[in-house]
Amino acid sequence: ERCCFVHQENGKKAKDREQKAIMLKQNYDQHIDLETKIREQQQIAEKQNDQEIRLYANAKRKMDWTQEKAGGELFQAFQNHQQAMVDHLATLVKEQVDDEDSRIA
């Protein structure tokens, strides 16, 4: 009788160990799956960040180029206006000198 009880006890312990081992393996597999999914999500997030950085850099480059072009055009317009003022003043001075010359003569 004692022999059968010990055998049953050992069988129960073995089943418990087997169930614990199965549960540990399932937990381990779930952990590995979760880590894989986290890594995949991190890679997706990094790709999105890289894409946003590229878009921002391209937009900034284009904006800088547009500002340089507009600045150049603005500078050229200022130069043209300044030259027109100089030409107008030169014309006024020339007219004044011609008027003085005609009065003297």
Mean pLDDT to the nearest integer, 51-66: 90
pTM of the full predicted structure?
A: 0.48
Q: Which residues of 88-105 are buried (b: 16+ CB within 10 A; e: fewer)?
A: eeeeeeeeeeeeeeeeee
Q: Which two tokens stand for residue 11?
A: 């069988």
Q: Where are the alpha helices (DSSP H) in the chain?
A: 2-104
pLDDT in tens, 9-19: 777 888 888 99
pLDDT band at residue 64, thresholds of 50, 70 and 90? Answer: confident
Give the pLDDT band (50/70/90) at residue 3.
Answer: low
Which two three-digit tokens encode residue 22? 């199965």
Mean predicted lDDT score pLDDT of the chain? 87
Residue type, 68: E
Q: How far apart are CA 56 and CA 60, in angstroms?
A: 6
Write out pLDDT tens, residues 23-38: 999 999 999 999 999 9
* DSSP code of residue 1: -
